[in-house]
């Protein structure tokens, strides 16, 4: 198993897990880009957003982002949810994950 997130889910690589459901985990990003930087990661190995055909799972990812924003106190100050897909999207880890960023003012730029 070479996927780093699959290894984290299996417990073979340590992570700071902050939340878990039947279908996903939420961990702290190892190189945080903001005071709050979490990753919501489905337990199923889906390489990219293109591979996720389950609208319920996609809904759960966003629902989890909202839940974690509230839990970390950034619900009202604001936060960003982000999925990078493939090369032009800047995806580095090819296991679907949703970034949850907040705790500082983030640029309005999309670039
Ligand atoms: P991507 O660019 O693929 O959307 O983002 C991958 C993210 O995973 C990056 O923000 C990176 O810091 C994070 N990351 C990579 N390896 C690890 C790891 O081993 N543990 C944790 N917690 N985060 C990781
Ligand atoms: Zn994986």
| Domain at 33, CATH number | 3.30.428.10
Q: Is residue 110 part of a domain?
A: no
Q: Ligand 1 within 6 A of 27 CB?
A: yes
Ligand 1: residue whose CA is nearest its atom 17: 30
When divided into structural domains, the chain yields a total of 1
Distance between CA 19 and CA 11 in Å, rounded?
14
> Does some domain include residue 108?
no
The answer, yes or no, to whether residue 111 has pLDDT greater than 70, is no
Which atom of ligand 1 lies at the shortest distance from residue 37's CA? 10
Question: And the tokens for 62?
Answer: 């966003």
Residue 47 to residue 49: CA distance in whole angstroms? 7
Range of the domain at 87: 4-102
User: What's the whole-model pTM score?
Assistant: 0.97
The per-residue pLDDT for range 39-95, each reduced to its tens digit, is 999 999 999 999 999 999 999 999 999 999 999 999 999 999 999 999 999 999 999
């Amino acid at each position: 198993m070479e996927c780093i997130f699959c290894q984290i889910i299996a417990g073979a690589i340590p992570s700071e897990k902050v939340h878990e459901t039947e279908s996903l985990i939420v961990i702290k990003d190892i190189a945080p880009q903001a005071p709050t930087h979490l990753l919501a990661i489905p337990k199923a190995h889906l390489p990219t957003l293109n591979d996720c055909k389950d609208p319920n799972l996609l809904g759960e990812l966003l629902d989890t982002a909202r839940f974690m924003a509230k839990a970390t106190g950034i619900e009202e100050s604001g936060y960003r949810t982000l999925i990078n897909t493939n090369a032009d999207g800047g995806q580095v880890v090819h296991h679907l994950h949703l970034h949850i960023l907040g705790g500082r003012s983030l640029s309005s730029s999309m670039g």
